[in-house]
Structure 1
């Protein structure tokens, strides 16, 4: 089963649009972009995404990418 990554279009000013493009190439992921993830303003405060419905955030888009990759590895190891 593929890991679902969800991004908020309003969060792109942090550079999340670029990491979203990189993650679209990841074979274990399905990447979606929505106009709003109902984070109630979170998109203006920090780069973030949802990984299988769980919020992953970081200080920069680059750090978010690394955090998402770690979370993907965690999910894969949990699913054996």
Structure 2
């Protein structure tokens, strides 16, 4: 997986349903870095819904596919803001 420059970071929890593998397509952007942590200290969130933290903001949805769409949208917004 491309580690990127880290201009946009996506953080996921080991215990959540959303994994680094789900984010491979999004992480192909050279400006995106995906980081995996044992725990993100958002107590209980990982057991409720798929979620990630994109540049410090929580992104979540009821399904993995819906969450991935929201994450990709947020990443695109962040990249536009950097230009």
Could you say which TM-score interval applies, normalised by the shorter chain?
Answer: 0.7 to 0.9
- Give the Cα separation in 2 of the matches to 1:71 and 1:56: 8
Contiguous gaps of at least 5 residues in structure 2: 1-5
- Give the Cα separation in 1 of the matches to 2:74 and 2:27: 16
Query: Does structure 2 retain, via aligned residues, the 8 Å contact 1:7–1:20?
Result: no
Cα deviations across residues 23-58 of structure 1 (Å, max 9, x unaligned)?
333322101100100001100000000001110001
TM-score (norm 1): 0.84
RMSD: 1.5
Contiguous gaps of at least 5 residues in structure 1: none
Indicate the structure with greater helix content: 1
TM-score (norm 2): 0.81
Count of aligned residue pairs for this structure pair: 77
